[in-house]
Chains A and B, each alone.
Chain A
Amino acid sequence: MDERDWTTRTPDPGATLMGEGVTIRCAAESGASLVSGDLDAAIASLAPGAPMLGLLDEVPEKPFALRIARDRALLCTDAPLGQEGWRDGFAVSGADDLFLVIEITGARRDEIRSACLGGGVGSPSAATLFAGQGALVATCPGGLCVRVEAPQAAALWTHLDRLIAAL
């Protein structure tokens, strides 16, 4: 028998939550790679000109990179890089399926942010805890853009679903 009745489910890309003043949408990542090592060299080689973004920085059109640690970032490009392995001073691993992207838009997005994000504004790293889940958090036009590892997306999605009803 099940230990408990698990009612939550991982959202499919395209799934949407609607609440008063807030819309939450799940999207699949595309063209994402983990890069580590010499990040300047990695960006110069793989996506010249891509900005390195920290917590709540606004994401521009691709390519851009979300910093995870001093020498690690998620490089978001228009298409998969296909250059996995160790390069000259940096490493690349495909990460198209590592994260699900959850976009939070609407007038009440700041309340969602307040309920999910424990401060830390201004960090050069986009990696943080969002509603208790490890995530990369940036802003996108009109809202928040949260990348959460796919296995944890069910927990975050359910939390957000309950949150918009409780705010």
Chain B
Amino acid sequence: MTGWRHDSAGMVDRDRPLSFTFDGQPCTGFAGDTLASALLAGGPRILGRSFKYHRPRGLWGMGGEEPNAILDVTENGRTLPNVRATTMVLRDGMALRSVNAAPDAARDRLGLIDLAQRFLPAGFYYKTFMALGWMRWEPMIRRMAGLGVLDADHHPPADAPSMTAEIDLLVIGAGPAGLAAARAAARAGRAVWLVDEAAEPGGALRWRGGEIDGAPWQAFARDSCQAVTAAGGRVLTDTVLWGAFDHGMFAAWERRADRPDRHWRLRAREVILAAGAIERPLWFANNDLPGVMSSEAALHYLALYGAVAGRRIVIGCAGDAPYATAAALAAAGCQVTLVDARSETPPAPEGVTLRRAARITRAHGHREVGAVTVEGVHLDCDTVLVSGGFTPSVHLHCQAGGKLDFDPRTDALIPRPGSAPLLTVGAACGAFGLAAALAGGHVAGGGAGPAPAASGAVWGIAPSRPDPKARGRVWIDPQNDVTLKDVKLAAQEGYRSVEHLKRYTTLGMATDQGRSANFAGLAAMAALTGQTIPETGTTTYRPPFTPVPLSVIGGMRRGEGFAPPRRLRLEAQHRALGARFREYGGWLRPAHYGTDEAKAAQAEARTARQTAGLYDASPLGKIEVLGPGAAELLDFCGYVRMSTLKPGRARYGFMLSETGIVFDDGVVLRLAEDRFIVSASSGHVGSVRMILEEARQDRFDPARVVLHDVTAQWTTLTATGPASRALLGGAGIDLPDLPHMGVAETRWQGVPLRIARVSFTGDASWELSVPARHGAALQAALETARAGHGACWVGLEAVMILRAEKGFILVGKDTDGITMPQDLGWGGPRDRRQDEYFGRRSLFTPEAMRPDRRQLVGLETSGAPLPTGAHVLASDGPRRSAGFVTSSCHSPTLDRPVALAMIEGGRSRIGQEVTVFHLGTLSTARITDACALDPEGARLHG
């Protein structure tokens, strides 16, 4: 522990001490601390181990750019992995654990790997383990190199609302430039949203301080925020803009202490980016030792938290910015030496030793920094603060499609004006210095009159770059353990494009997105290849700007909220009858009634065959096709002609895809000359409607035919079985004299009732449809009559048995992506129809005409039912699949297994024995007709 807590500096609440642990060791902090500030003031220096070499690492930065202080945080028994210590507020009782270390950061056993570092250059794993079998070694390598550990028992609640807002002006960043822009725009009457990732507006003013318009900066910030809210805008703090997406959408993560976080999708008419800049490190040997950290971060921790980085401090720099840090640390009682690479510098702050035209060339120390070499001179110290210039935060600009230009004045890549649909101001475009930032923001916000006034010139900066000739191990990207030597190796091996450099070395690919590393990497590559920085270019910036919890992006649509199924209006009634529910085709439907699925389904199917069964068929589609052009539309969209159907009748048919594949099947009811109802499969209603709608609009006169999907308007209950007619009579339903496939519209108890005599079971069946609000009454009437006829309610599992006994297909289960209607025994329309219909041409291709196409047949076997999906082996030649079992069950009526299968040339092989293969076992079966029960159809007529 080298850091310490200043007696009075900072804004933590010293009356509220907090206890926490780090790697099991007790630590204390104060309310208002972040994890980082508490650790800096009173915790150990080694906070983790590096990704590859397991080098000891300490705190570097103050925000999302932090590459080292990544912790697993356990609170209330739940662990959140990979938390950046710089961004999480400390709470009492937290247990912090370093990542990638065993047993802990201080005593990591794998630290020995660093001794072999010269044998582990960039690309080592690719080069070595591909030849040795990567899959074998990968698990071990991944265990050795990594981040935090997921808590498998931690299921974050799905409680993060996904908010959407359309905004007049979005200002990203509430530092001086952002505040000035927002204030100017708000005063002009614009509705501004001002968004900042910090808990308070102010940006660097919060730790650097300053006066604006002759008053403390806080007054300016307060005035700006009040102007924003008064003009109808909003100030969102603790909110990270993490991505810019197409069509002007920005994504933001709002952290909230007392309520669930929120995720925002923002669309703004105009955007001003004032995201500031991030301090760069300096590149000397051992620049990754704990105790080497950002100069700006040290000032941040001192001013906001009273956490002081060390006592004997060397600050290395080549610009003006760290002079304020040096002054503040000296005033706090530290012994400070400022090492400036420039020969012309501002005067030394009071109490600070200034060494001009000098550079740090090496840091010394085994586990943490203890000294530095400056121009050959050894200086003892306990802390090294560095400032190699600033990298503007241009990520959102680039994500929005913007380009960058190199600005030699600031030695930085800054946004090219006009190259992205947003305006960048302040430090994000290289305006380093309070007055420059305020002026830029004021102009961008459309401010009238003079900009807010502040003293202070633009910071002087001299370029600092990694020296390819530097000796020792110089870290470019500490989080992914990329050294200057790795960049040299990449250049030597021809990976000279920055994109190749990135992938070869993993430079910039860690959770910090290389925010403090990318510039150094491309500068080193530029130096090695003799190119300029603009010629070298940058890698592609992609969201997220900072790691965002998936629970925030996923929002509330998880668990039951993820792809929720549609619900029956009679769900409560079915539950009261003991139904167990399952999702079928996007609907939650009764699978069976009772607890034992297998027994219940068999019993229900048996009862339905012997007496009667009742089931809820409401999800079956009810797409009304209305108008004088209705029959013509259905003829085109269907495989079976419907124009020849008489009113009051129904007909079974198929809908094909353009490729002639069976897309859906179902019954079409004709209620009148110009009114049909397409009864699509419950899971295909939307897509069938879209096929009909597309043809309606593109091929036919849409004024002559329209579609209404009224599926949800009706509750449909089906009675099936030999006693169903009597049961319906007992329920007070006066059945008209309908033939099989007859339809009637009548009334029951004064409400509309549509009766369709169609069957999915092979038994006499009646589909009864009433407006949904009357469904409960109909269900109650049927339930009252049910017991008297020995009937039962049947779930979908029993219905599956009943239809399989009859060889009735379920599209998508008994068919696949190559099944055509002739494969199902429905070749008639293909042979007879001369008119055009959807999918017709594909039915006559050589592939469609092959005689050995897989065809629907039945399989008869003894013993246990065949497994669905089992393969039917070809009878000759090498072993191969000639088809597969599509449906299989035990038939309670036949008291034997029944199965449906698609088998090559199946119909011509009826009667043959075949071998069935499943998971290494072989069995035999006999090919039969698909219909195993009542092939004459006598049962249909009751």
Q: In the bound complex, how far is the Cα of B629 from the Cα of A36, in angstroms?
A: 14
B566–A151 CB distance below 8 A: yes
Q: How far is the CB of B54 from chain A (nearest CB, A)?
A: 41
B557–A132 CB distance below 8 A: yes
Q: In the bound complex, how far is the Cα of B560 from the Cα of A159, in angstroms?
A: 10
Name B713's contact: one of A90, A94, A132 (CB within 8 Å): A94
- Does A16 sit within 8 A of B, measured CB to CB? no
Q: Which residues of A contact B561 (CB under 8 A)?
A: 155, 158-159, 162
Q: In the bound complex, how far is the Cα of B559 from the Cα of A4, in angstroms?
A: 9
A166–B260 CB distance below 8 A: yes
Q: In the bound complex, how far is the Cα of B571 from the Cα of A150, in angstroms?
A: 12
B572–A9 CB distance below 8 A: yes
A2–B580 CB distance below 8 A: yes
Residues 566-608 of chain B, each 1 if its beta carbon lies under 8 Å from chain A, else 0: 1111011000000011110001100000010100000000000
A151–B567 CB distance below 8 A: yes
Query: Given the known A-B contacts A9-B572, A150-B569, are A158 and B597 also in contact in the complex, defined by CB atoms under 8 Å?
Result: no
Q: In the bound complex, how far is the Cα of B710 from the Cα of A124, in angstroms?
A: 23
Q: Which residues of A contact B267 (CB under 8 A)?
A: 119
Name A36's contact: one of B164, B557, B708 (CB within 8 Å): B708
Q: In the bound complex, how far is the Cα of B705 from the Cα of A71, in angstroms?
A: 11
Q: Which residues of A contact B597 (CB under 8 A)?
A: 1
Q: How far is the CB of B596 from chain A (nearest CB, A)?
A: 10
Residues 148-176 of chain B, each 1 if its beta carbon lies under 8 Å from chain A, else 0: 00000000001111111110000000000
B628–A86 CB distance below 8 A: yes
Name A93's contact: one of B161, B166, B259, B710 (CB within 8 Å): B710
- Does A15 sit within 8 A of B, measured CB to CB? no
- Does B702 sit within 8 A of A, measured CB to CB? yes
Query: Given the known A-B contacts A8-B564, A10-B567, A162-B556, are A93 and B626 also in contact in the complex, defined by CB atoms under 8 Å?
Result: yes
Q: How far is the CB of A141 from chain B (nearest CB, A)?
A: 22
Residues 121-144 of chain A, each 1 if its beta carbon lies under 8 Å from chain B, else 0: 100000000001000000000000
Residues 143-164 of chain A, each 1 if its beta carbon lies under 8 Å from chain B, else 0: 0000001111111001100110
Nearest to B715 among chain A residues (CB) is A97
Q: Total number of A-B contacts with CB less than 8 angstroms?
A: 142
Residues 698-714 of chain B, each 1 if its beta carbon lies under 8 Å from chain A, else 0: 00001100111011111
- Does A79 sit within 8 A of B, measured CB to CB? no
Q: Which residues of B contact A86 (CB under 8 A)?
A: 626-628, 630, 672, 674-675
Q: How far is the CB of B216 from chain A (nearest CB, A)?
A: 34
Q: In the bound complex, how far is the Cα of B361 from the Cα of A124, in angstroms?
A: 68
Nearest to A155 among chain B residues (CB) is B564
Query: Given the known A-B contacts A6-B588, A163-B556, are A154 and B567 also in contact in the complex, defined by CB atoms under 8 Å?
Result: yes
- Does B772 sit within 8 A of A, measured CB to CB? yes
Chain B interface category by residue count: 35 or more
Q: In the bound complex, how far is the Cα of B39 from the Cα of A104, in angstroms?
A: 47
Q: Which residues of B contact A34 (CB under 8 A)?
A: 708, 710
- Does A47 sit within 8 A of B, measured CB to CB? no
Name A10's contact: one of B569, B624, B626, B714 (CB within 8 Å): B569
Name A166's contact: one of B159, B560, B588, B752 (CB within 8 Å): B159
Q: How far is the CB of A35 from chain B (nearest CB, A)?
A: 9
- Does B771 sit within 8 A of A, measured CB to CB? yes
Name B164's contact: one of A85, A93, A115 (CB within 8 Å): A115
Residues of A2-47 whose CB lies within 8 A of B: 2-4, 6-10, 28, 34, 36-38
Interface centre among B259, B624, B706 (most CB of A within 10 A): B706
A93–B712 CB distance below 8 A: no
Name B571's contact: one of A9, A37, A99, A167 (CB within 8 Å): A9
Q: Which residues of B contact A1 (CB under 8 A)?
A: 580, 595, 597
Residues 772-787 of chain B, each 1 if its beta carbon lies under 8 Å from chain A, else 0: 1100000000000000
Q: Which residues of B contact A37 (CB under 8 A)?
A: 627, 703, 706
B626–A36 CB distance below 8 A: yes
Query: Given the known A-B contacts A86-B626, A166-B259, are A3 and B583 also in contact in the complex, defined by CB atoms under 8 Å?
Result: yes
Q: Which residues of A contact B674 (CB under 8 A)?
A: 85-86
Q: How far is the CB of B494 from chain A (nearest CB, A)?
A: 47
Q: Which residues of A contact B708 (CB under 8 A)?
A: 34, 36, 72, 91, 93, 95
B164–A118 CB distance below 8 A: yes
Interface centre among B159, B561, B567, B711 (most CB of A within 10 A): B567
Q: Which residues of B contact A167 (CB under 8 A)?
A: 161, 259
Q: Which residues of A contact B416 (CB under 8 A)?
A: none
A94–B556 CB distance below 8 A: no
Q: Which residues of B contact A97 (CB under 8 A)?
A: 569, 712-714, 771-773
Nearest to B566 among chain A residues (CB) is A151
Nearest to B259 among chain A residues (CB) is A166
Q: Which residues of B contact A154 (CB under 8 A)?
A: 564, 567
Q: In the bound complex, how far is the Cα of B713 from the Cα of A95, in angstroms?
A: 6
- Does B265 sit within 8 A of A, measured CB to CB? yes
- Does A60 sit within 8 A of B, measured CB to CB? no
Q: In the bound complex, how far is the Cα of B560 from the Cα of A1, in angstroms?
A: 16
Name B556's contact: one of A36, A91, A150, A159 (CB within 8 Å): A159
Leading 7 A-B pairs by shortest Cβ distance: A151-B566, A36-B706, A155-B564, A97-B772, A91-B626, A93-B708, A86-B674
Beyond A86-B675, A158-B564, 13 extra complex contacts between A and B, CB < 8 Å: A38-B703, A71-B702, A93-B624, A94-B752, A94-B771, A96-B773, A114-B165, A149-B712, A152-B564, A153-B567, A154-B567, A155-B561, A166-B159
| Cβ contacts A to B, 10 pairs, < 8 Å | A9-B571, A10-B571, A37-B703, A71-B706, A86-B672, A86-B675, A93-B710, A98-B710, A151-B587, A166-B260
